[in-house]
Amino acid sequence: MLRLDKLVKTYKTGDQALKAVELEVPEGQVLALIGPSGAGKSTLIRCINRLVEPTSGKVYLGDVELTDLSSGALRRERRRMGMIFQEYALVERLTVMENVLSGRLGYVGFWRSFLRRFPQTDVDEAFRLLDRVGLAHMADKRADELSGGQRQRVGICRALIQNPALLLVDEPTASLDPKTSRQIMRLICELCKERGLAAIINIHDVALAQMFVQRVIGLRFGAIEFDGPPEGLTSDVLTTIYGEEDWEATIETVDEDEDDVLEAAV
Amino acid sequence: MPVQDRKGQKIWQRRSGRESLMHWVMWLIGVAIFAYCWQQISESTTWFFVWDAPRIANDIWTRATPPRWEYITQLGKPIWDTLNIATLGTIIALILAVPVAFLAARNTTPSRFIVRPIALLIIVSTRSINSLIWALLLIAIIGPGVFAGVIAIAIRSIGFCAKLLYEAIEEIDESQVEAISATGASRWQIMAYGIVPQILPAFAGVAVFRWDINIRESTVLGLVGAGGIGLQLSSSLNVLAWPQVSLILLVILAAVVISEWVSAKVRGAII
């Protein structure tokens, strides 16, 4: 569904953020991208929808090659790739509803969007999604009145209303507390399953990644060092990705039951 | 080196010996320049007029009080003109300043090497010339009257508004713009959704602030014949009608105080 072919990104400063990355993501697969800061995780995700222009290499989304597209064609393809951001990146001064509907901008003409006259089907879908993430009553609130977890849910709605085939998720939990982090990760993975979406999730928290995804990619200095199931993340593997450290505590499998008890107690 | 090692004890001072010496020398030079300038000014001043000033001021004060209150019936129209010059001028300036600001901001300009310098030139040139001088020029071109005043105020304000707006545009949170781009939005949609909501408070602040300034500026435009209450002020001054002058100053003061109150209220409502 998504295929990266020898993707290279060299920044103007000479830093090589990606070194000929080869990656294939089948339909409906959720994968986590782990690696130390500066390994090129964000760059990789942004090279796919060309928020960052790759230096060379090819990106195939289905049958379409993205790196050669004109700006108009790129905009049409971006509609098929929803993106979720680290600091939510909601437009703070717009309402929750406007933020969700902004996910439809690629489908709606300028004046309709400027005058906020979105098609009723889009509005219906927005309410449905807000209801799904438990924020239906917040539709009229301004985005900056929401808590971190609520904002990220709005961010998820904005990405999903695009009706994408692929989700690009950049550190969705980096600014959230541990419990909210789990809830957000669970929500993203559930929604991907419901809709058969593929997703690439950048994530710092190795334990959290192991809990929710089917496949883990380890990135180090812009090259893939590990590609396999979460169980394959042994302390040796983590040492090659991150460097020497005592990894036993990190890869200790988290007890899901205990998590549920915690959930019920709240 | 502010840290010295003296018998194993570390002594910290703000400046090292040489630095503090330099500091004192700089102060000395500064004071010397001030004294020299003072002397120059003093030489070219006719001190007789200065010593005479309190007596003359007192004389004008007695002539100017009490203000000629019945004259106020003739001031309604001019003060209304003045308010209109300021308001219309500000609106025209804002309409012209918005595109200039987008062309001048580093993150929105279509070309850094051609369009941006032109936009910056517009900002600098309109800002650097006082509205009185713009009014003088425009009176020569389009004749005396309120219209010349409106245009003078508008031109003078473009640079000010555009500069503050483009600084606000450069300070926006880029991640919000990125998020809107990622949805497949067009260039104009990115502007309407990613940028405009972020600069709206700055825009409103700049608008009332400039309107407030323009009310003061438009009161004097009449001095050169560009309409408004300044016209009455200059004719009263010409015939030495001091009680009328004092009344006009009171009216201007009242207008400025009211405009200040309004702009404070508006700004409070936005933020």
pLDDT exceeds cutoff 90 at B264: no
Contacts of B186 in chain A (CB under 8 A): 75, 105, 110
Contacts of B175 in chain A (CB under 8 A): 85, 87, 89
* Domains present along chain A, CATH in parentheses: 1-76+213-266 (3.40.50.300)
At residue A252 the predicted structure's pLDDT band, cuts being 50, 70 and 90, is low
pLDDT exceeds cutoff 60 at A264: no
pLDDT exceeds cutoff 80 at A249: no
Tell which phi-psi region holds residue A40, choosing left (phi > 0), alpha (psi between -120 and 50) or beta: left
What is the pairing mode between strands A64-65 and A56-61?
Answer: antiparallel
Cis peptide preceding A26, ω within 30 of 0: no
For chain B, what percent of residues have pLDDT higher than 70?
Answer: 99
Contact A79 B198 (CB under 8 A): no
Tell me which residue has tokens 């809709």: A195
Identify the CATH class of B76-270. mainly alpha
**Residue range A78-120, pLDDT digits in tens:** 999 999 998 889 999 999 999 999 999 999 999 999 999 999 9
Contacts of B195 in chain A (CB under 8 A): none
**Residue range B119-148, pLDDT digits in tens:** 999 999 988 888 888 888 888 898 888 888
Q: What is the pLDDT of residue A266?
A: 41
At residue B173 the predicted structure's pLDDT band, cuts being 50, 70 and 90, is very high
CA count, 13 A, side-chain hemisphere, A23: 34
Spell out the domain ranges in chain B.
Answer: 76-270
Quote the minimal CA–CA distance from B164 to chain A in Å. 20
Q: What is the pLDDT of residue A253?
A: 54
**Residue range B44-80, pLDDT digits in tens:** 888 888 888 899 899 888 888 888 888 888 888 888 8
**Closest residue on chain A to B172 (Cα):** A91
At residue B1 the predicted structure's pLDDT band, cuts being 50, 70 and 90, is low
Tell me the pTM.
0.79
pLDDT average, residue stretch B194-213: 91
- For chain A, say whether B185 makes contact (Cβ under 8 Å): yes
d(CA B166, CA B203): 10
d(CA B113, CA B107): 13
d(CA A101, CA A123): 7
pLDDT average, residue stretch A67-73: 90
